[in-house]
Amino acid sequence: MSLNMELQTAKNTDLLESTLSERFLEFIDDNAFPCVGAKAALANDSIETHELSMLGNPKNDQLIADGLSRFVEMLDASDDDSSTVYSYVALFDGPFDMSEHEFESQLWSQLWRLHKLDIKAGNLPADDVSSDTNDAHFSLSLSGHPFFIIGLHPHASRLARRFSHPAMVFNSHRQFEKLKEDGRFEKMQAATRARDIELQGSINPNLADFGEASEARQYSGRKVEDHWQCPYDFRRKNE
């Protein structure tokens, strides 16, 4: 066996033996991955990963809800002056053959089930964002905390969203606001967009600053239509 074949065999064996969480962190660590915020979180060991069964399995719902509740407690207890950005990542064991539309449908169905559990738990929506997905100040409230969601899956058109497994990253909207206050967000955003253009040759067409368009349009990663509407209504007054 040649040296190149031996190295390739060893690489394939390592891939099979590595956990899904390890593969996700390696995905973030790859030089080509554009998001500098995620890379900073990786460097600070502040990415919390959780491996679950297939996306769409209701058995995942309470596990994610409970995990996010603990995650929010950790965020609330953290030092207000800390510059560390934390992320909660749900990693799913399939499906692997979803189109972008199918993944978008599954993502919003999952978020809707988490929303219903949140109401059942008696949690109030975050009062610093809107619960209306058509509102430019929308952010998803869970455990009283606003989250920006990033969806990834094997068939994403954006390379930065194309991971081997379906995944959902929950980022604290308040952490983004804090980064804006001290001037770091704009620098990180500019660097990320420049790296994304270098990776794919174009900027993500869904990108918009908070307050310009609803961030719900960005969650799935698909280039949504101008007339796109979220399939669910997260306003509590309609419950």
Distance CA 10, CA 169 (A): 30
User: Number of H helices and number of E strands within the chain?
Assistant: 7, 5
| 22-55: pLDDT as tens digits | 999 999 999 999 999 999 999 999 999 999 999 9
User: How would residue 201 be classed by pLDDT, with cut points 50, 70 and 90?
Assistant: confident
pLDDT at 230: 97
| 97-140: pLDDT as tens digits | 999 999 999 999 999 999 999 999 999 999 999 999 999 999 99
User: How would residue 19 be classed by pLDDT, with cut points 50, 70 and 90?
Assistant: very high
pLDDT at 237: 63
The mean pLDDT value for 87-93 works out to 98
User: How would residue 83 be classed by pLDDT, with cut points 50, 70 and 90?
Assistant: low
CA 75 to chain centre: 17
Domain ranges in the chain are 23-78+85-238
Angle at 146 between CA 141 and CA 148, to 5 degrees: 105
pTM for the full predicted model: 0.87
Out of 71-85, 107-121, 136-150, 219-233, pick the least confident: 71-85
pLDDT at 79: 62
**Which of 131, 128, 126, 129 minimizes the C-alpha distance to 143?**
126
CB neighbour class for 186 (10 Å; exposed up to 12, middle 13-18, buried from 19)? exposed
User: How would residue 58 be classed by pLDDT, with cut points 50, 70 and 90?
Assistant: very high
